Amino acid sequence: MRLTRKRLCSALLGAYLLFSLYAAYCVFLKPRRSPAPPAAAPRAAQRDKQGRAGHFVLEAEDWNPWEADEKNSLQQNSANSLQLLKEKKPQQEQTDLRIQIWGKAAIGLYLWQHIFESPLEPADVAAQWREGRLKVGKSFFSFITGPSVVPGYFSVESSNVVLVLNGREEEKISYAAQWLHYAQTLMQTHKLQHLAVVLLGSEQCKNEWIYPYLKSYGGFVELLLLVYDSPLVNEEDVFQWPLGVATYRNFPVVEPSWSMLHTPRPYPCNFLGTIYKNSSRETLMQVLRQSGLDKTCWISAREEWWPQETNESLQKYQDALLQSDLTLCPVGVNTECYRIYEACSFGSVPVVEDVMTPGNCGNSSVSHNAPLQLLKTMGAPFIFIKNWKELPAVLEQEQNMTLQEKIQRRKKLMEWYRSFKAQMRQKFISTLENAFLPKDKGG
C-alpha cells in the first residue's frame, strides 16, 4: 500500500516537473511568430468607400465619414508614417492657400469637373459622397459633394471655404440659408476665416435675400460668384459666373476628337426642347415649319418640361448636338441656358436669341452689354439674332459654306470654349487668392 502511494506521488511530481519545463520553454526559448499585418484596416477603408458610393441614404447622426480613415492612420506603422510625412512636407511648404469647396448645388460639378477638369471619386454620379483634390500653383483645393455632405457631419479641412449653393426658388433659398447659418457659426467659433459663395441665382435676378450675408452689407461672405446678368456684379466682391452645362441631368465632360472636328454633319441645325405657350419658341417653330427647315434640321419639340432626362433622351440630345452645325438657343425664363454651353462642348455653333427676358436682370456698373454679358465680354463666337424670323437667312448662308470653312469655324468655337474655361478657372483662383491671402502674398 505504501509502495503504491509512493509511486503515485512520484508520478505526480514527475508530471509537474515536465509541465514546468515545457512552460519555461514556451516563455523563454520558443521562437515567436511575427504579428500578422492589419488586414482589417484595408477592409474597413473599402467598406467606408462602398458606403459613400452606395445608393442608399445614410443616417447623418450615426455616420462619421472620416472614422475609418482615422483608424487606418493610427494602424500605420512608424516607417510608413515617416515616409508619408517626408512626401507631404515639400507640398505643405509650397502651399500658400488651402481651400475646401462644399458643393451643395449641381453647378459645383461644372466648377470642379468642367472648369477645373478634375475627377471625383467615386465616379458613380449617384454616390452619397464624392470628393476630389487638386493643387494649382501654390493653392490646394479639395472638393466634397453629395447628399451625405450634411452640416456638422463632415470634417472642415480648411479655414478657407467656397460654398456652392442653389438660390433659384424659395425652397432652394431656404436650404441655402441653412448652410450660410452653419458657415456663420463656424466663423464665430473661429473654425472658418474666409468664405466665398458660388450661387445659382434667380433666373429673374431677384437675389435680394443674399444681400444681408455679404460682407459689403454687414455680413460675412467676402466674395459672391453669381450666375446670370445681375446688376449687383461689380468685379470687386461680386462677380458673374457661367451657368455651364446641365450636370444635374448628368451631361458629361466631353473630350474633343478628330472626328468631332472634321466629320461632315448631316443636319444644318437642331432644337430639342420644350415649347412654352406665348413664348418666342412658338415663333421659332412657326418659322421652321413655314420655311421647311423642320424637315432638314433635327427638331424634337415637347409641350412639358422634363426635370430629368432618361438615358435614351440624353443620348438622343447629344447625338443631335454632335450631328448639327448649329444649335438653336431660344430664350427661356432667362436668355442664358445650359444649351449654349452644351452646344460648345460638341462644337455645334449656338444661334442665340439675343433679347432680355422679364425680371431684374440687366446691365451692371462694369458692363453694359446685357444679356449674356460674360460670354460677350469673353468674345464668344456665336451667332446672335434678335428675332427668329432672321433664321432662314442664317441657314441660307450655311448652305454656301464649304466643309473646310465649317471645320475652321468649329475649331474656333472649340478652342474658344477651352480657353473660356481656362480663363474662368484662373479668374476663380486669382480672385480667391487676392481675397483670402495676406496682401503681401495675394497681391
Chain centre to alpha carbon of residue 146:
10
Q: How far apart are CA 8 and CA 5, in angstroms?
A: 5
Output the pLDDT for position 310: 85
| Residues with pLDDT less than 50, the chain | 1-3, 27-93, 442-443
Q: Supply φ then ψ for residue 83, to 5 degrees.
A: -65, -40
pLDDT in tens, 166-179: 999 999 999 999 99
Output the pLDDT for position 367: 87
Q: How far apart are CA 43 and CA 72, in angstroms?
A: 10
Q: Supply φ then ψ for residue 165, to 5 degrees.
A: -130, 160
Output the pLDDT for position 438: 85
Do 102 and 148 contact (CB within 8 A), yes or no?
A: no
Output the pLDDT for position 35: 38
Q: How far apart are CA 406 and CA 415, in angstroms?
A: 14
Alpha-helix runs per DSSP H in 256-310: 258-262, 280-291, 293-296
DSSP 301-324: EESS--SS--HHHHHHHHHHHHTE
Do 192 and 225 contact (CB within 8 A), yes or no?
A: no
What DSSP element (H or E) covers 37? none
Neighbours of 316 (CB within 10 A): 14
Which three cell numbers mark 395? 441657314
Output the pLDDT for position 94: 60
Do 52 and 129 contact (CB within 8 A), yes or no?
A: yes
Output the pLDDT for position 76: 45
pTM, to two decimals: 0.78
